[in-house]
Amino acid sequence: MHKFVLVVPVFLLAFTLQAQNIQMQRTDKGFWINEDDNRIMFFQRHSNDSIPEFSRSNYFHPVYDLNGNIITEDFPEGHPHHRGIFWAWLHIIVNGKNIADTWHLQNFSQNVEQMGFKTNAEGNGELEYSSFWYTKNRPQIPFMREKNEITIYKRKRNYRQIDFQIELVALEHGLEIGGSADEKGYGGFSIRMNTNENTHFSDSEKQSIEPQNTAIDAGSCVSISNRETKSGVSIISHPLNPGMPAWILRQTGSMQNCAWPGSSPVALPVNQPLTLKYTLIIHKGNPKRVPLERIYKSMQ
């Protein structure tokens, strides 16, 4: 009797740990990222042509909260170019000339290649891939390469962490990228979320902030939560990212954007990779109960 009691819990623990590992499930359009039988998010590897004018790939949608609800939008009314979790810039410039707009998907396409996924020793998922950028009038010769690493962590009690490392490598001399050429300066890492009048925003100090038309100085982290669903996300800009983060936030009907570099384009010299890092925390309940300070300090 004593042996039976001792052996069963060990077996159950081993089974539970194995079953809760982050895993990938292939489809004809991309990959589901799951934990056990629970959806986390879908990676759109191949082009989504639901609206051909805004065909796109290399983004994450749907993304689920910890209650199993979809929190992102794709092809939303009024902004059909918005797409789940994505990163894009309005001005792609070569030798002073605008050649593409990756935000609005104008004269732009990309091809995701060299994909790899593994579950590491801790049971977390590691997705690595390259994405090559093209103009539609030169579809065989890429002008930019992304080399990305996405780490999807197993769920903690009330949150899940997802790390994004985006490496941009210019393949053309004289290449620059920039955000919108206005007082907003939006562009860069973004999430298009389901938001409404019950959506609440707070800054790095966990103080309430109100979305404005232009960028807000909210520190290294912004939390976005819904008072009704008791769930939300926090976006953390890595301390080694270039410049200070500027936040373009919207109460309803638009994306939430950690804007960089703003309205002034920056140069990307050939063979000098630019690395941008962001962490997304999907949380349940009050974001003040999530150890955001500890997570941020672990990045330094």
CA dihedral 178, 43, 234, 237 (to 10 degrees): -40
Strands of 199-202's sheet in order across: 109-119, 125-134, 144-152, 159-170, 274-284, 231-237, 221-226, 199-202, 208-209
The secondary element (H helix, E strand) that includes residue 5 is helix 2-19
Q: Which of 44, 15, 248 is nearest to 131 (CA)?
A: 44
The domain made up of 62-298 is a member of CATH 2.70.98? yes
The secondary element (H helix, E strand) that includes residue 267 is strand 266-267
Q: Which of 177, 205, 193 is nearest to 280 (CA)?
A: 193
pLDDT of 230 reads: 84
Give CA–CA dist 190/248, Å, rounded: 9
Q: How many other CB atoms are there within 10 angstroms of residue 94's CB atom?
A: 16
Please provide the distance, in angstroms rounded to a whole number, between the alpha carbons at the two ends of the chain. Answer: 51
Phi and psi angles of residue 232, each rounded to the nearest 5 degrees, phi first: 180, -165
pLDDT of 107 reads: 97
CA dihedral 71, 72, 77, 83 (to 10 degrees): 180
In sequence order, the β-bridge partners of residue 232 are 225, 283
| pTM attached to this predicted model | 0.92
Q: Which of 233, 41, 29 is nearest to 127 (CA)?
A: 41
pLDDT of 48 reads: 98
Residue 122, classified by CB atoms within 10 Å of its CB into exposed (0-12), middle (13-18) or buried (19+), is exposed
DSSP 194-212: ---TTEEEE-TTS-EE---
pLDDT tens, residue order, the chain (300 aa) = 333 333 333 333 333 344 589 999 999 999 999 999 899 999 999 999 999 999 999 999 999 999 999 999 999 999 999 999 999 999 999 999 999 999 999 999 999 998 999 999 999 999 999 999 999 889 999 999 999 999 999 999 999 999 999 999 999 999 999 999 999 999 999 999 999 999 999 999 999 999 999 999 999 999 999 988 889 999 999 999 998 899 999 999 999 999 999 999 999 999 899 999 999 999 998 888 999 999 999 998
